[in-house]
Amino acid sequence: MEGGCLCGALRYRVSNAPFAADYCHCRMCQKSTGAAVASWMDFKADQLTWLNDKPSEYHSSEYARRGFCGQCGSTLSFRDTRYPEYASLAITSLDDPNQVSPTYHIYTDSQVNWLRIDDDCKRFPQGATNQSD
């Protein structure tokens, strides 16, 4: 699968399907994307190849790095410096975003009350890693 930013300055290729995909309703994702919800897909870092340049990064918290195009501002990536073996990409940055569907929601405590999503995906009030099944 391939994707990139709005202006085309940044392009990437992933060699495998993502091992996870989610909707994130946290306030940081809302503010950084300008959308009510972000959709992310997760890969092992070695499955991701940036084809020309890498995204600029904003340090949104102690460990979070949010990647974006320095020319058009498109949200592209997220990474947690505590887990360098993983990389997350915005599903909507894919050339064909219909290739990946999120399977769960995280940070639903921050979901805006005017957004109604009627699906069967599992929901976590905080991050999925903070929950017990």
Going along the chain from its start, the domains and CATH numbers come out as 2-130 (3.90.1590.10)
Tell me, letter by letter, the H, E, C secondary structure of the chain.
CEEECCCCCCEEEECCCCCEEEEECCHHHHHHHCCCCEEEEEEEHHHEEECCCCCEEEECCCCEEEEECCCCCCEEEEEECCCCCEEEEEHHHECCHHHCCCCEEECHHHCCCCCCCCCCCEECCCCHHHCCC
Per-residue pLDDT for the chain (133 aa), expressed as one digit of tens each?
999 999 999 999 999 999 999 999 999 999 999 999 999 999 999 999 999 999 999 999 999 999 999 999 999 999 999 999 999 999 999 999 999 999 999 999 999 999 999 999 999 999 876 444 3
Rounded to two decimals, the pTM is 0.92
